[in-house]
Amino acid sequence: MRFFRLRLARLAAMATVLGSMLGLIAVAAPAASAAPAGGTTGWIRIAHLSPQAPAMDMYVYPFGDPGSPTVLKDVRYGNVSRYVSVTPGQYSVAMRGFGAPATSKPALTTSFMVTAGGAFTLAALGPDPGLRTEVLKDQLNAPSGQAVVRVLQASLKQHRVTVSYGTNVLAQQLAFGSATSYTAVVPGAQTVKFTAPGEQASQAVTVTADSAHTFVVLDNPAGFKVTALTDSSGSLAMPEGGVAAGFGGTAPHPAGSPAPWLAMIGAGALLAGAALVRLRSGTSSAR
């Protein structure tokens, strides 16, 4: 039901955008790179980062309206959902096994506050049993021409990890379940190095200007594994979700910015409108 409403809301928003684009198509491109709007909406996404935990369904219940939860089903290890817009307020997060009915007993994992204009990642971390949900506040913009990155340490094998991005040390002996603040970095291709007792790894990454990313340290059979989440990428009025460019992640790729498509649709609509007017005026003249 919630998804249905969200879709309706998105369709309505898209219709509004399209409508306004008919008159303002020339300024559509600058708007696409503007910072996300604050307003009356917040965003949440869910990340399953516990290799031991099975697929699950996550329910996010508003304190004031328990009949309208945000539900993400079949969240599996490595999955990161798109951002979903929610009304600002207090929420409880509950987990159920994948496919369990909504009337079954949920496990309350955390409660958190969504602020207007804020974006949050709910990250399921840790062993199972012992799974926990951490709430991260995501940054929605970067200094002009730069990128910002942070590290979330979710490795169960290594409890303390040092992470560097080129010459920038992003995290020093970062403990499991901890996250760093965002650090501004020069965008482009770079090497990220991970060090822990008896283990070292490096990976090539590419981050684009005006974007924000979270590097998540995870385990794989060979040692470290890193998933780069894109927190924002010069988006329209909502942040981008999913996996960043540069190296492998297991989450589905986010859709690109809708601006070019909207521009194309808008331009098409304009052309069609112009043709219609011309056809009508032609018909009037013929009369």
Partner 1 sequence: MVLAGAAAIAWWLTAVQTSTATRTAAGGTGTAGTTAAVARARAEAAAWIAGQVSASAIIACDPGLCPVLQDRGIAPGRLMPLRAAGGPLGADVLVTAGSVDGPLATRYAPARIASFGTGGGQVEVFAVPPGGMAAYQTALRADLAARRSAGSQLLRNPRIRFTGTGAAELRAGRVDTRLLATLAVLASQYSFQVSALGDAAPGAPVLFREVVITGIGPGRSGALAMVHGQEPPYVPAHVTAVGQTGLSIEFALPSPLGLLSPVLGAGQ
Q: Which residues form the interface with partner 1 (CB under 8 A)? A: 59, 61-67, 69, 89-90, 92, 94, 103, 105-113, 120, 123, 129, 134-140, 150, 152, 177-182
State which residue, 105 or 287, has the beta carbon closest to partner 1: 105
State the nearest-atom distance from the C-beta of 278 to partner 1, in Å.
50
Class of residue 197 by CB neighbours under 10 A (exposed 0-12, middle 13-18, buried 19+): exposed
Closest to partner 1 by CB, 211 vs 262, is: 211
Give exposure, 163-190, as e/b (b: 16+ Cβ within 10 Å).
Answer: bbbeeeebbeebebeebbebbebebeeb
How does 107-122 read in b/e, with b if 16+ C-beta sit within 10 Å?
Answer: eebeebebeebbbbbb
Residue 23: name the closest of 236, 266, 281 by CA.
Answer: 266
Sign of CA dihedral 100, 104, 110, 115: positive
Would you call 271 exposed, middle or buried from its count of C-beta atoms within 10 A (0-12, 13-18, 19+)? Answer: exposed
- CB of 257 vs partner 1, minimal distance in Å: 21
Q: For residues 9 and 108, which CB has a smaller minimum distance to partner 1 in the complex?
A: 108
Give whichever of 120 and 224 is closer to partner 1, judged by the CB atom: 120
CA distance 142 to 152: 18
CB 26 within 8 A of CB 61: no
For partner 1, the closer CB: 103 or 285: 103
Nearest distance, CB of residue 194 and partner 1, angstroms: 18
- In the bound state with partner 1, the residue whose beta carbon lies nearer, of 78 and 239, is 239
Contact 141, 212 (CB under 8 A): yes
- Least distance to partner 1, CB of residue 16, Å: 28
3-state secondary structure of 68: coil
Compute the least distance from the CB of residue 125 to partner 1, in Å. 9
CB of 45 to partner 1, least distance (A): 14
